[in-house]
Amino acid sequence: MTGTFSDAAQRLAGLVPRALGWTPDQFWAATPEELAAIFSNETHAAPDQPLDRAGLQAMLERERHG
């Protein structure tokens, strides 16, 4: 791994608040484990079937009507 912790923290401090809508204070209060959990894909299992047009339309309708 190249770079320093400071370099990585500066990059993340610019990206994470924009991506998550966080304030700088929220970013600096988060732990590395919390950030890893947020960006981890392990909690979202792959679907058995890919999303088809009917599934997409159903999701759009649910979102439109709350």
Q: What is the pLDDT of residue 66?
A: 58
Q: How far apart are alpha carbons 43 and 27 in whole angstroms? A: 21
CB of 12 closer than 8 Å to CB of 23: no
| 17 vs 46: which has the higher pLDDT | 17
Q: What is the pLDDT of residue 7?
A: 86
pTM above 0.85, yes or no: no
pLDDT tens digits along 4-40 = 888 888 888 888 888 899 998 999 999 988 988 888 8
Alpha-helical segments (H) within 1-66:
5-20, 24-29, 32-39, 53-64
C-alpha distances (whole Å) from 1 to each of 6, 17, 32 are: 13, 24, 17
Q: What is the pLDDT of residue 29?
A: 94
